[in-house]
Amino acid sequence: MMKIGITCYPTVGGSGIIATELGKMLAERGYEVHFITSSLPFRLDCVHPDIYYHEVEINHYPVFQHPPYDLALAAKMAQVIDREELDVLHVHYAMPHAISAILARDIADKDVKIVTTLHGTDITVLGYDQTFKRMIAYGIEQSDAVTAVSNQLVEQTKEQLEVVKDISVIYNFINEEEYVRKDREFLKANYNIAPDEKVFIHISNFRKVKRIEDVVRTFAIVAGQRKAKLILVGDGPETQPIFNLVESLELTDKVLFLGRQKNISDLLSISDIKLLLSQKESFGLVLLEAMSCEVVPIATNVGGIPEVIKDGETGYVVDLGDVEAAAQYAIQLIDDEISYQSFVKRGLERVQNHFSSDEIISQYIDLYHKVIRSSDDNDT
């Protein structure tokens, strides 16, 4: 059976979640999976005989002013490629993973195919950095296959990095067993949310790009007219400024700062409307998680979001910064329960029909076979 190496950022974040769930589902299908990461991926919470974990060890030799993580990663990748006889090394997030993988491929004795998945800010932020631009383009061109999580990300990559490489779209997916609406009504009481209060939720890493200020301002408009609470999940540099904004808008008793949480599906299970009003978002994995847990999303018309939400059918898409429109859509949803339920139903169908894990995993497996086949063809 094919042996696949996976490298990703092991901490909280959509790309790490996708990479880890992919590895788990590949192992369930009988593939041997080797995670090569700086620490145990936080979603790697299972024991499976076909899942292995190889930690990248950093050498703190005193001469190094900055320990060279990217080279340590390449060295570990090369070691695992040879020792475990990997067929494919699938890296998530171009910087530095694709570059390290290419170096590892050169170092290793065994032939291995590199598959790179672009997730978003590796292109939409780092791709604009003149120092990194050529290196990311090199990582893309030198990979054996490249995928991106939305059509929009493919277009932006080609335009921004001027690469000619064929980049295929493989959408994100969720673990459907986990992201399902559960009966968690007791949690509402625990969080002091009244049964007739509507629950808004925002989940992110609290960086500026997420525009959480717009989330709070949208909620402020709604809360002035309807009974509602806002749950903020996550942590990051924007936490304190958002805390100050909530105080200045006198919303302290209506906004709950939960910090980082593990059981996201439990929190989604007590929520009604999900707000994601980011400035950039190549996909917006949290939107899939929301729809799968029967929460209706309202999000901005940026990046890959319109490929995830069918505007006016499974949620609403608003212009960046248009908090008035977001609030009006939220109020419409609150006021019309029958319409709200049809959004929920269509959202569930959309997740099943377009983003089913079964289908997406098959697409990745087909790609692995294709890159391996292409080298066999070249040999003959």
> CB-wise, 205 or 352, nearer to ligand GMT?
205
Stretch of residues binding ligand GMT (CB under 6 A), selected from 59-67, 118-126, 335-343, 345-353: 118-126
CB of 204 to ligand GMT, least distance (A): 8
Residue 120 interacts with ligand GMT (CB under 6 A): yes or no: yes
Residue 15 interacts with ligand GMT (CB under 6 A): yes or no: yes
Rounded to whole angstroms, the Cα distance separating 368 from 249 reads 52
CA 274 to chain centre: 16
Rg (CA), the chain: 22
- Which residue of 32, 50, 238, 281 would you call a contact of ligand GMT, by CB under 6 A? 281
Under 8 Å between Cβ of 258 and 229: no
Residue nearest ligand GMT by beta-carbon distance: 120
Residue 283 interacts with ligand GMT (CB under 6 A): yes or no: yes
Residue 121 interacts with ligand GMT (CB under 6 A): yes or no: yes
Residue 13 interacts with ligand GMT (CB under 6 A): yes or no: yes
- Strand 145-148 and strand 113-118: pairing? parallel
> CB-wise, 306 or 372, nearer to ligand GMT?
306
Question: Which residues between 167 and 206 bind ligand GMT (CB under 6 A)?
Answer: 172
Stretch of residues binding ligand GMT (CB under 6 A), selected from 12-20, 230-238, 292-300, 359-367: 12-20
CB of 99 to ligand GMT, least distance (A): 17
Residue 23 interacts with ligand GMT (CB under 6 A): yes or no: no
> Would you tell me which residues interact with ligand GMT (CB under 6 A)?
9, 13-15, 18, 93, 119-121, 124, 149, 172, 209, 280-285, 303
